[in-house]
Chains A and B, each alone.
Chain A
Amino acid sequence: MQVNETNTVNTEEKEFTPLIVAFCCNWCSYAGADLAGSSRLSYPANVKIIRVPCSCRVNPLFILRAFQRGADGVILCGCHPGDCHYSTGNYYARRRMTLLFSMLDYLGIEKGRTRVEWVSAAEGAKFSATMNDFAATIHKLGPNRKLRDLRCEK
């Protein structure tokens, strides 16, 4: 518990840097993120990417877990509608996330903290712009308190 306490104190003293988890599908958005990298288009370092085969692999439980563990924002990126490598995966993702995000909003996690974006493998610039914009939005919203594992908080 000692460690946790010092951590909390430290983060509150520093300027708020949001923690953002980005789920990216392997075929489009993860490749788009790679292209942003090879084009040297920067976005905040607090965006951390998790690779999934398809946006439809993202279980709502992963997103809940991220918020519970202290994420301030979660973004899901997939192929553009009609371009899914698995034909229809992104349509499932879209429907599931619409439901999940409205439920999260109801629980007090603002709509701005969750987002679905379609980024193709050729859209490095869009990936970087999206992440910059999302990070700015989360920064404005401030730290997320809802859904956090209260046992870790002081």
Chain B
Amino acid sequence: MQKIGVFVCWCGSNIAATVDVAAVAEAVKGEPGVVFATDYQYMCSEGGQSLIKETIKEQGLTGVVICSCSPRMHEATFRKTVEAAGINPYMLEIANIREQCSWIHKNKEEGTEKAIILAKAAVAKLNLNTPLIAGESRVVKRALVIGGGIAGIQTALDIAEAGYEVDIVEKQPTIGGKMTQIDKTFPTLDCAACILTPKMVDAAQSEKINIYSYSEVEKVSGFVGNFSVTIKKKPRYVNSDLCTGCGACMEKCPSKKTPNEFNMGLDNRTAIYIPFAQAIPKVPVIDTAACLHFKTGKCGICQKTCSANAIDFDQKEELITKEYGAIVVATGFNPLKPTKFDEYQYNQCADVVTSLEFERLMNAAGPTKGVLLRPSDQSHPKKIVFVQCVGSRGQSCRDHSYCSKICCMYTAKHAMLVRDKYPDTDVTVFYIDVRTPGKNFDEFYRRAVEEYGVHYIKGMVGKVEQVDGSLKVQASDLLSNDQMVLDADMVVLATAVEPDPTAKSLATMLTASIDTNNFFTEAHPKLRPVESPTAGVYLSGVCQGPKDIPETVAQGSACAAKVIGLLAKDKLLSNPCVAHSDELLCNGCSTCANVCAYGAIDYVDKEVNDHGKREVRHIAVVNEAVCQGCGACTVTCPSGAMDLKGFANRQIMAEVDAICK
């Protein structure tokens, strides 16, 4: 018989306001096995934890039920507490009476009644718990960073700094990500390249960092400390070891009409290309869709031009499988392409551009060498209208409901830079709200308004029309309740931040969670903000949610700290809640092995002692190091031999019984 102690937490008033905690403690006193029950203000505080430890010793408890917040919050905390007092950490059950009771029910009588039932269910389960011993697994001392933008680079640099190997996988031909396309950064207006390119060089030169550019993650298996990842290296058709990056091939390439992705399609590039001058690695890639050799088999000028003999038209896709201890997701974002927003005439009119396109038009390394010219007729725009929240904060199916966070600031930056460079330009910004929380951010916005004379109008643009080569912008001013029509030479759309399209398939591969907008979900917004709920998978940068560069870099470093913490361990304790097979009940049918997603079940011929009868039987054996504890096999087993430790059939049945009393 167990000796169970029940501890009911008030959580200040979070629980105590809608649950009569003393009544809960009183109600469970008569339950089987319960020898002690009490309530306390904050169970997770040092005082609360000491109370648990002292009671375990005084009462000789064999198990503990804590009625508190969600086990997702403090199960790990309380496991450590009971272990410190000498009982097995798995002799602990948590009744979730906060998130799933006190916070959702307003009626105290109802809340108390439910809390009592949840506490009784936890007691009923705990009565059937058995001590579980976690196995150990090794940690591969190498990390994988998926995505080579500023987030991934920062994380990789920090991990390498601590002395661990890091591989960066980047799907583009170069690392650097979106920040490479940005001209100046807010709120300091320092040049993005001056910050980013030295970091790119550091990453490339670090002995600990290995960059797989133009590569993608193909397959992931394994678990924390022991991931096995297959990386697909796409063929560049240029031998990276031989190429000197001289660029002669690009000069001679006759196929020059492909829209240049780096400049957002505002100019053209050749079929063999290096995305931009500071690219790392500085090795060209052949775009087979544009290359005459691949299309017609006739060209090959680049091959003849290359003095290093680096062009290799026969290069094949390469698959590399490596082991990693930790995986960092840093897949970043893409700005929304406003093709579904017909009212802004983005598809029809060249002078309606997105903010990232505008960024390229303002950039000294951009298609216009930093001279602001209208894409349609290469003239200087005199009137520019900026439209905020295109695709953000909306309710319709083409909108995202979230705020993209960075648009208010970069629009203020764009407006300021235009007014600074071309003081004769009239700049108007239409906004829903101006959101500038952040260090020196509001001052920055006010400078745009007060010092640079940017017109801010609260209201949305309803329609953009092209009339005789210029644009007419119909909008409303919500503060004066006016409808207005403005002439404009250019319209700039601050389009929403969207997670990279690869996020969803990657999340499936990693079994990491994503939210309804395809941003990766953190394990807990405050307790574990840079970890995914899947152990060993960490989140860096915008893949987790919209953020600006300072926040991205901070999160990248935070993420590295968590990875270093993991890689510094020699061994990890594995989850002991795994399946096990009763050798006397197993009939060797292999149904369980068929449903196991991990191949954790093997069949062996083993001599068993069935009530004195010794015989060799073909039976299932679970590899505890590989089993992840989902329980699929337990349900499929026709003979009832398979069960799951920690979530055993009789434990769950006991919970059902306690709830349905």
The interface of chain A, by Cβ under 8 A from chain B, is: 19, 21, 26-28, 30-31, 33-34, 36-38, 40-43, 45-46, 48-54, 56-62, 65-66, 69-71, 79, 82-89, 92, 96, 120-123, 128
Contacts and interface: CB of A to CB of B under 8 A. Distances in A.
Interface stretch (B314-322, B339-347, B426-434, B624-632): B624-632
Contacts of A28: 513
B104 A37 contact: yes
Given A48-B118, A87-B511, A57 B631 contact: yes
B528 to A, nearest CB: 12
A150 to B, nearest CB: 15
Q: Lowest 5 A-B CB distances belong to which pairs?
A: A37-B99, A57-B631, A122-B515, A69-B660, A86-B630
Q: Is the interface of A mostly helix, strand, loop or mixed?
A: loop
B661 A27 contact: no
Nearest to B514: A83
B276 to A, nearest CB: 36
Interface string B48-77: 000000000000000000000011110000
Given A33-B99, A120-B515, A62 B631 contact: no
16 contacts: A19-B660, A26-B72, A28-B513, A31-B72, A33-B99, A42-B106, A43-B104, A45-B114, A50-B652, A56-B630, A62-B656, A66-B656, A85-B533, A86-B630, A89-B632, A122-B521
Interface string B125-136: 000000000000
B660 A66 contact: yes
Given A50-B656, A56-B631, A37 B597 contact: no
A92 B103 contact: no
B296 interface: no
Given A37-B103, A45-B111, A57-B644, A83 B513 contact: yes
A44 B317 CA distance: 56
B508 A53 contact: no
A42 to B, nearest CB: 5
A66 B658 CA distance: 10
B360 to A, nearest CB: 34
Given A37-B99, A54-B631, A88-B597, A42 B71 contact: no
Interface residues of B, number: 53
A62 B99 contact: no
B631 A69 contact: no
A27 B533 contact: yes
A33 B635 contact: no
B656 A21 contact: yes
A52 B521 contact: no
Contacts of A27: 513, 533
Given A31-B533, A54-B630, A92-B595, A49 B96 contact: yes
Nearest to B118: A48
A34 B73 CA distance: 10
Among B514, B649, B660, the one with the most A-chain Cβ atoms within 10 Å of its Cβ is: B660
Given A19-B660, A21-B660, A53-B644, A83 B508 contact: yes
